[in-house]
Chain A
Amino acid sequence: MNISFQSSQSSSRTSWRLATGFAFAALFCAILLGGVSAWLLGSVAIAGLSAAALTFNFHMPAAFIRLFAIGRTAARYGERLTGHRAALADQVAHRVELFAAMAAAPAVRRAGWQLGDDARLADYLDDVEDLDYARLRAGLPALTLACGLAALIAGSAVLAPLSLLPIVLVLLAILFVGNRVAKAGAMAWDRARSLRRGGASRLGAAMASAVPLKAECAWNRECVAALAALSSADGELLALRRLQARLDMIGAAFGPVAGISVMAAAWHPGRQGPELLLPMLLAFSWLALGEAVNGASRMLVAVLRRNAARAEIDQWTRDASDGRRVSTLQSIEPRLLLHGGLQRRAPDGRAIGTLVALLFERGRPTMLAGASGSGKTSLLKQIAGWIGEDGFAADDRILSASERRALAALVLHDAVILEDTVRANLSAAGVPDAALWRALEAVEMDGRVREAGGLDAWIRQDRFSLGEVQRINLARAWLSSRPLVLLDEPTEHLDDEQGQRILERLLAHLDDRIVVVSTHRTPLRDARIIELQA
Chain B
Amino acid sequence: MKKLSAPPQRPDPAASLAFQALTAAERLAKSGLRGLLIWQIARTALRLGFAATAAMLAGRLVMGGAVDPGLTAATIVLLAASCLAGLAADRVQASAENTVSTGLRGSAGDRLNEMPARLLQSLPVGSVIVSMQRHPEQVAALVVGHRAATAMMAAGPLLAAGALGFVSWQAALLIAGLTPVMILFFALVGKAMRRRADAQERAFGRLADQFADRIRTLPTTLANHATAGEAAKLARRLDTYAGKTIGLLRIAFVNAGIIDFFASLSIAILAVFLGLGHLKLATIPGFSNLELWQSLFILMIAPEFFAPFRRFSEQYHAKAEGLAAAAALDRLLGAEPVAAKTLPSLERLRLTLPAKGLVAIVGPSGSGKSTLLRRLAGLEHGGMQGAQPLAGTGIAWVSTDSYVPEGTLGEAIAWNAVAVTRDRLEDSARAIGLLDDALLPGGLDARLDKGGANLSGGQRLRIAVARATLAGRAVLADEPTAKLDRETAEAVRRTLLAISRSRLVVLATHDRDLAAAADITVDLTQGDAVEVAA
**Residue ID in chain A nearest B455 by CB atoms:** A373
Cross-chain contact A121 with B212 (CB below 8 angstroms): yes
Q: Interface readout for A32-57 with B: 1 if CB under 8 Å, 0 if not? A: 01100110111011111000010010
Which 9 pairs, one residue from A and one from B, show the smallest C-beta to C-beta distance? A373-B456, A118-B126, A205-B451, A245-B90, A371-B485, A69-B264, A209-B403, A241-B94, A69-B268
Q: Interface readout for A258-295 with B: 1 if CB under 8 Å, 0 if not? A: 01100100010000110011001001000100000000
| Nearest-Cβ distance from residue B373 to partner chain A, whole angstroms | 9
Task: List the A side residues contacting B15 at CB < 8 Å.
Answer: none
* A437 at interface, CB cutoff 8 A: no
Among residues 396 to 437 in chain A, which have CB atoms less than 8 Å away from a CB atom of chain B? 406, 409-412, 414-420, 424, 427, 429
Among residues 300 to 339 in chain A, which have CB atoms less than 8 Å away from a CB atom of chain B? none
Among residues 235 to 261 in chain A, which have CB atoms less than 8 Å away from a CB atom of chain B? 235, 237-238, 241-242, 244-246, 248-250, 252-253, 256-257, 259-260
Across the interface, B223 reaches (CB within 8 A) one of A4, A66, A410, namely: A410
Cross-chain contact B94 with A215 (CB below 8 angstroms): no
The contact sample of 9 A-B pairs, CB cut-off 8 A, is A1-B231, A115-B218, A205-B404, A211-B401, A215-B476, A216-B397, A231-B105, A257-B79, A273-B62
Across the interface, A48 reaches (CB within 8 A) one of B67, B280, B404, namely: B280
Across the interface, A371 reaches (CB within 8 A) one of B128, B275, B458, namely: B458
Cross-chain contact B451 with A227 (CB below 8 angstroms): no
Choose, from B19-27, B248-256, B317-325, B423-431, the stretch at the interface: B248-256
Across the interface, A476 reaches (CB within 8 A) one of B63, B87, B224, B275, namely: B224
Task: List the A side residues contacting B41 at CB < 8 Å.
Answer: none
* A530 at interface, CB cutoff 8 A: no
Cross-chain contact A92 with B278 (CB below 8 angstroms): no
For chain A, the bracket of interface size reads 35 or more
Known contacts A222-B403, A534-B485; A77/B257 CB under 8 A: yes
Task: List the A side residues contacting B405 at CB < 8 Å.
Answer: 205, 222
Task: List the A side residues contacting B220 at CB < 8 Å.
Answer: 412, 415-416, 418, 473
Number of A-B contacts defined by CB within 8 Å: 423
Interface residues of B (CB under 8 A from A): 50, 54, 57-59, 61-64, 67, 75-76, 79-80, 82-84, 86-87, 90-91, 94-95, 98, 101-102, 105-106, 108-109, 112-113, 117-118, 120-121, 123-130, 132-134, 136-137, 206, 209-227, 229-236, 238-239, 242, 245-246, 249-250, 253-254, 256-257, 260-261, 264-265, 267-268, 271-272, 274-276, 278-281, 292, 295-296, 299-300, 374, 377-379, 391, 394-397, 399-406, 416, 437-439, 441, 450-459, 464, 476, 483-485, 488
- Docked complex Cα distance between A128 and B476 (Å): 46
* A180 at interface, CB cutoff 8 A: no
Cross-chain contact A81 with B246 (CB below 8 angstroms): yes
- Docked complex Cα distance between A207 and B437 (Å): 26
Cross-chain contact B451 with A204 (CB below 8 angstroms): yes
Task: List the B side residues contacting A480 at CB < 8 Å.
Answer: 224
- With most chain A CB atoms within 10 A of its CB, the pick from B134, B399, B406 is B134
Cross-chain contact B64 with A249 (CB below 8 angstroms): no
Cross-chain contact A37 with B271 (CB below 8 angstroms): yes
- Docked complex Cα distance between A89 and B249 (Å): 14
Choose, from A97-105, A138-146, A183-191, the stretch at the interface: A97-105
- Docked complex Cα distance between A350 and B214 (Å): 29
Task: List the B side residues contacting A202 at CB < 8 Å.
Answer: 406, 450-451
Choose, from A193-201, A447-455, A506-514, the stretch at the interface: A193-201
Q: Interface readout for A82-105 with B: 1 if CB under 8 Å, 0 if not? A: 001100110110011001101100
Task: List the A side residues contacting B267 at CB < 8 Å.
Answer: 33-34, 37, 65, 69
Cross-chain contact B223 with A409 (CB below 8 angstroms): yes
Cross-chain contact B256 with A80 (CB below 8 angstroms): yes
Cross-chain contact B216 with A416 (CB below 8 angstroms): yes
- Docked complex Cα distance between A37 and B303 (Å): 13
Cross-chain contact B253 with A375 (CB below 8 angstroms): no
- With most chain A CB atoms within 10 A of its CB, the pick from B86, B132, B271 is B271
| Nearest-Cβ distance from residue B270 to partner chain A, whole angstroms | 8
* A528 at interface, CB cutoff 8 A: no
Cross-chain contact B396 with A216 (CB below 8 angstroms): yes
* A349 at interface, CB cutoff 8 A: no
Known contacts A112-B453, A373-B459, A533-B485; A418/B213 CB under 8 A: yes
Task: List the B side residues contacting A464 at CB < 8 Å.
Answer: none
* A214 at interface, CB cutoff 8 A: yes
Across the interface, B239 reaches (CB within 8 A) one of A92, A128, A211, A219, namely: A92
- Docked complex Cα distance between A363 and B12 (Å): 65
Task: List the B side residues contacting A73 at CB < 8 Å.
Answer: 257, 260-261, 264-265
* A217 at interface, CB cutoff 8 A: yes
Task: List the A side residues contacting B406 at CB < 8 Å.
Answer: 201-202, 205
Known contacts A5-B235, A372-B484; A200/B98 CB under 8 A: no
* A173 at interface, CB cutoff 8 A: no
Task: List the A side residues contacting B90 at CB < 8 Å.
Answer: 241-242, 244-245, 248-249
Cross-chain contact B275 with A62 (CB below 8 angstroms): yes
* A391 at interface, CB cutoff 8 A: no
* A70 at interface, CB cutoff 8 A: yes
Cross-chain contact A418 with B221 (CB below 8 angstroms): yes
| Nearest-Cβ distance from residue B469 to partner chain A, whole angstroms | 15
| Nearest-Cβ distance from residue B453 to partner chain A, whole angstroms | 7
- Docked complex Cα distance between A276 and B220 (Å): 72
Cross-chain contact B132 with A227 (CB below 8 angstroms): yes
Cross-chain contact A37 with B61 (CB below 8 angstroms): no
* A8 at interface, CB cutoff 8 A: yes
